[in-house]
Amino acid sequence: MPREVRIASALLTGLGAVLIVNAVIALLYRDDLRAAAQDNVGGLLTSGQVNGILIAVAALMFLLGGLLVLAGGHIRHGRQWARVLAFVTAGTLLLFSGIGALAGAGLLAVVLVGASVGVVALLMQSAVADFFERDAAQRDAAQRDAARNDAAQRDASQHDQRP
């Protein structure tokens, strides 16, 4: 397994864990976050609207975190779908974190942006592409061999059943 895949897997898993922990913390301290947000946008949004936005953001963070952990686990096995999932999820995270960083969300948003860019850059390298293509070719060969073995077993059992 290429070093880039191991690093990308660790980054994906770590990013996912950070997002899940932040989502849980946001839900646990929702009242405090709502009060702080009301101070900033109290004239524009009602308390219920701010609460709904906080729940939606926490749910999105939890979903993205879960997808990142899932991709991080399966990317080590050369699963092409996990690589695509990592690209899409990291891109989505990059978009939301970039907006958050521009809005002054702080150090966490900047770290998430940097880690997302790192994951995408690592997974786009040619050594990584070869790893995923080779693994897919090996799986295809294994499936062909299994199909041949099944056909041979069926033929043998039919031959044994003849008088």
User: Is the distance from CB of 41 to CB of 50 less than 8 angstroms?
Assistant: yes
Torsion from C-alpha of 119, 103, 106, 17, nearest 10 degrees: -40
Query: What are the pLDDT digits (tens) for 100-147?
Result: 555 555 666 666 667 777 777 766 666 667 777 765 556 666 667 777
* Whether this model's pTM surpasses 0.75: no
Task: Let me know how long the chain is.
Answer: 163
pLDDT of residue 160: 62
User: What SS3 string covers 81-106?
Assistant: HHHHHHHHHHHHHHHHHHHHHHCCCC
Query: Between these two residues, 34 and 23, which has the higher pLDDT value?
Result: 23
